Structure 1
Amino acid sequence: MKQEFRLPDLGEGLTEAEIVQWLVAEGDTVTLNQTLAEVETAKAIVELPSPHAGVITALHAAAGDVVLVGSPLVGFEIEGAEDPVPAASPAAGSAASAEDGSGPNLVGYGAAPSTGRPMRRARRSAAAVATADVDVRVAAPHDAIDETPAVPEQHERPRSTPPVRAYAKGHGVDLALVAAALGDRVITRADVDTYRERVAQRSIGAATAPPSVAVAPTTTARPVMAGERSTTRIPIRGVRKHTAEAMVQSAFTAPHVTTFHTLDVTATTELIASLRASAAPDAPRIGVLTVVAKAVCLALAHYPGLNARWDGEAGEIVQQHFVDLGIAAATERGLIVPIIRDAERMTLGGLAAAVAELTRTARSGKTAPADLTGGTFSLTNIGVFGIDAGTPILPPGQTGILALGAVRRLPWEYKGEIALRDVMTLSLSFDHRIVDGAEGAQFLKAVADVLQEPGRAMLLA
């Protein structure tokens, strides 16, 4: 029986996905739930399992194509089953496929196809591939690297992990060229960096001398001559596109107000040092972010307005008596905000473990789309970049977000004298439709009190 598999709704109403890498080819025999491809949504890189066991007869999109939900993706020949009666609609076809012995188990499988045609990026010839994806920041044509062999037409993608592919993509490096230089082995991030360094070194001489081989025309990048004014165009898609849309929606929907508080957190840093000194080797690492997360959960119980959401259609403010805590994470693919569910129920150690797992998953590009939505309050640690304060934008649907500044050793008034103390600034942005200035200030003070005197946590609990 022939069966078409359409791109399913991968969760949270996402409408499209980009094919990052096919892990199968036409003619391959696959098993149920075998990974067919890795696809990148607006929120995460997702492995796409096979809904059938059978032989692949067609791949309807190439790596790099953006495919709409509901569009044909893979054709199957399923052994031992008869061809179904042609369905009157894609929805009917999905229902029929669900009845056979190898039916799909994907979230949203069988979604009605989106209107419009899939968006496809221009395919490039092998010659163009060999010259196009140059790191424009070092401004060197690949042809200047004489030891790089020509890249033959390939049916398989270079072997690497999703984070490495994302890293290479973000730095304009074609993994096919890296693979051609390395041979048949898994490409690492270090390999990408080595390749970029080699391009940079060669570019010093290449920028002032004509290349030995003519550069193929390309719309992606071209050699930059010495002294030339140039620009680079970067496609807006994936996480960056989603983040931009969300931030614009939030900024022009919720009236933002930001209040700041600089405080002495020496007692907190001393507590962290003590806990680390006595912790087991495999215990989760407790840091300032973990303690602030605990302080926020305690304070939200007393200031529920910061944990509410605005329901304009119902004309109501919805107070949420649980804390799904968002933690902003800067990844190679852009900014994402994974959620720690029911954070208010966790101990300090539990929060530390959750933050560590969240960070590991985010950096590997494996955060599930469902784990990026539904937060009630968020934290962003700008201190790791050496920044003291800022005005964070609210994630859509949330009323509060707290930015943690850098902890600095500064002269500070302490017990009537000047002493060197650990000092940081907290920046709280909130939705002024729900929270007035007094409540915002009181909430921020409650969080600060815990950080200044961690023993106060027993009073707020």
Structure 2
Amino acid sequence: MPQVLEFKLPDLGEGLTEAEIVRWLVEVGDVVAIDQPVVEVETAKAMVEVPCPYGGVVTARFGDEGSELPVGAPLLTVAVSVGADAGASEEGAGAASGSGSGGAGAASGSGSAGAGSGSGEVESSGNVLVGYGTGAPVARRRRVRPTAVAAAVPARVPVAPVVPVAAPDPVPDAVPGPVAVVSPLVRKLARQHDLDLRKLSGSGRDGLILRADVESAIRALAEDTSAPLPAGFAAPAAGVAPEPEAVPVSGASSAGRTVEGSAAQRIPLRGVRGAVADKLSRSRREIPDATCWVDADATELMAARAAMNSVAGPAAGPKVSVLALLARICTAALARFPELNSTVDLEAREIVRLPEVHLGFAAQTERGLVVPVVRGAQARNAESIGAEIARLTEAARAGRLTPAELTGGTFTLNNYGVFGVDGSTPIINHPEAAMLGVGRIVPKPWVHQGELAVRQVVQLSLTFDHRVCDGGTAGGFLRYIADCVEQPAVLLRTL
């Protein structure tokens, strides 16, 4: 007899507390294999496919595409065959047999036994899911005939709990003490709509307030804005529509006058944009940064790159990009000025100099700005760095970067010249200590060997944490970068 197991959204690592369902990879009634990806989710770090540690028939899915779930919330339920003859069933070949050695609780930290009977043991992967697969080959899913599923699996249809809003009758005053909420997402949603969580009744276990409870209250207010509001609910401002995603409000000019027909749009800061906003805000709060810059003649660097890429025959390799050359120059400069490859431990009041250079580079994608990391960049040549940058850039644009590929950087290279601008004072990528900015390389008048000439000129800027070094060190670092750009042969002395 099948046993129904519940698979919960696993801990995706890096302190992430929720994820948005982007695309379901299975339907109710599909047969899934152990460690087969079942859903694609988007976190504040990356887009990842979540594998299920159980093999069997999908009996229910929880959450629509586009909805957000907190870590630990149910994702789906799987009917797993138990018993000695389970492996012989042709229709259940994708399910786990009863020969596994672990019970439901040992499958992973994110799954637990759901409804169902049977004392047989259930096979599962036993792997700890951390957001990007468990390495097992993906089995092709098969759809089971509805009659077969109905005969083998007790019907179970997930229905989001709908909690009616309390009538505007006397509501008890708020009681001091902790609020029965564990999800930061629920607290944030209530905060955005000025809801008093202490005056809501939760539909979860032990009165836990769920997201559905808050959304139900918001919907009720939107349907009847003229009715008296329950205590703890703040009325929306005049001209504000109740939709949480895009809220048109009356526009106002700089003089304070209302502009007829104009409207603003409220867009929640979440996902990648929310993560970027949090990190940049923290950087501004904690890091006393300073910026210095210099113009450099990049004519010789461009000529050296052209010579590298023109090599034919057995010695020819992949094309080397300007960004790869600048990244290699950065690693050479950090070897000379290790103060800038460090971080600050505020609690210990210590500067921590890091032994390896994990070089981040800013990449603009449809999902927003991300910073993939080239690990061990100090041990790579320009060709190797270029190949890794190309791989990470392609993964970033496709939304396939893992959290591990987006974290752990020690220094960032920001090529904003691709946007057609000359200079910038970027915000440091917390908790790093510095960022090198590179503007566009354009022909400009330049004094070369005592005469005015047209040269390829680039502006370089260095934003650094003034706690880790003074202006002399920062200036020396930037001057070495500029010297290598103007005379690439300078770099040969460090190779």
Same fold, TM-score > 0.5, yes or no: yes
Alignment pair present for 1:105 and 2:105: no
% identity of equivalent residues: 41
- State the partner residue of 1:236: 269
Matched, 1:259 2:280: no
- In the alignment, structure 1 segments of 5+ residues that lack a partner are 124-216
User: What residue is the counterpart of 1:168 in the other structure?
Assistant: none
Provide Cα deviations, 1:72-109, integer angstroms capped at 9, x if missing partner: 11111111169x9998xx9697599xx84223534349
Separation in 2, partners of 1:422, 1:4: 62
Q: Indicate which of 319, 322, 346 corresponds to 2:380.
A: 346
Q: How does 1:10-409 map to 2 (within 5 A)?
A: 10-80=12-82, 100-108=122-130, 114-115=182-183, 119=211, 228-278=261-311, 283-409=317-443
Q: CA deviation at 1:285?
A: 2.9
**1:277-334 deviations in whole A, cap 9, x for unaligned?**
2267994332221111011100101101000111122222111121000011111001
Shift of 1:235: 2.4
- More helix by proportion, 1 or 2? 1
CA spacing shift, 1:280–1:119, aligned 2, 3 Å: farther
CA distance in 2, matches of 1:12, 1:79: 35
Contact 1:409 1:422 in 2 (8 A): yes
After TM superposition, give the deviation of residue 10 of structure 1 in Å: 1.3
Alpha-carbon deviations, 1:412-435, whole Å to 9, x = none?
000000011000001110101111
User: Which residue is 2:9 aligned to?
Assistant: 7
Change (3 A) 1:243 1:264: same
Secondary structure of the structure 1 residue equivalent to 2:286:
coil
Measured at CA, do residues 85 and 293 of structure 1 come closer, stay the same or move farther in structure 2, by a change above 3 Å? closer
Instruction: Verify the 8 A CA contact 1:50 1:104 in the aligned structure 2.
Output: no
Superposed displacement of residue 71, structure 1: 1.3
Query: 1:71 touches 1:114 (CA, 8 Å); kept in 2?
Result: no
For 1:12, give the aligned amino acid. E
Change (3 A) 1:280 1:65: farther
Deviation of residue 460 (structure 1)?
3.0
The equivalent position to 1:454 in structure 2, one of 488, 492, 495, is 488
1:8 and 1:91 map into 2 onto residues whose CA distance is 7
Q: Distance in 1 between matches of 2:488 and 2:82?
A: 67
Structure 1 letter corresponding to 2:270? R
Question: In the alignment, is the contact (CA less than 8 A) between 1:18 and 1:64 conserved in 2?
Answer: yes
Q: How many residues align?
A: 359
SS for the counterpart of 2:489 is helix
Local SS of the residue matching 1:271: helix
- In the alignment, the residues of structure 2 paired with residue 85 and residue 100 of structure 1 have an alpha-carbon distance, to the nearest angstrom, of 5
Provide the secondary structure at the position in 2 that maps to 1:448. helix
RMSD of equivalent CA atoms: 3.1
CA–CA separation in structure 1 for the residues paired with 2:408 and 2:452: 45
Post-superposition shift, 1:459?
2.1
SS, match of residue 272 in structure 2: helix
Amino acid at match of 1:102: S
Which amino acid in 1 is paired with 2:341?
N
Q: Is the 8 A contact 1:299 1:460 kept in 2?
A: no
Contact persistence 2:103–2:122 (CA under 8 A): no
CA distance in 1, matches of 2:67, 2:332: 46
Separation in 2 of the partners of 1:310 and 1:279?
47
Whether the 8 Å CA contact 2:442–2:458 is kept in 1: the answer is yes
Structure 1 length normalisation: TM-score? 0.72
| 8 Å Cα contact 2:56-2:81 kept in structure 1 | yes
Q: Secondary structure at the match of 2:400?
A: coil
* Secondary structure at 1:229 match in 2: strand
The one-letter code matched in structure 1 to 2:298 is V
Residues 118/265 of structure 1: CA separation in 2 closer, same or farther (3 Å cut):
farther
8 Å CA contact 2:7, 2:111 repeated in 1: no
Name the residue aligned to 1:431. 465
Shift in Å at residue 228 of structure 1? 2.7
275 and 86 in structure 1: CA distance in 2 versus 1, 3 angstrom threshold: closer
Matched position secondary structure for 2:268 = coil
Supply the distance in 1 between the matched residues of 2:125 and 2:318 (Cα, whole angstroms): 41
Hey, what's the Cα distance between the residues in 1 that align with 2:289 and 2:182?
Answer: 35
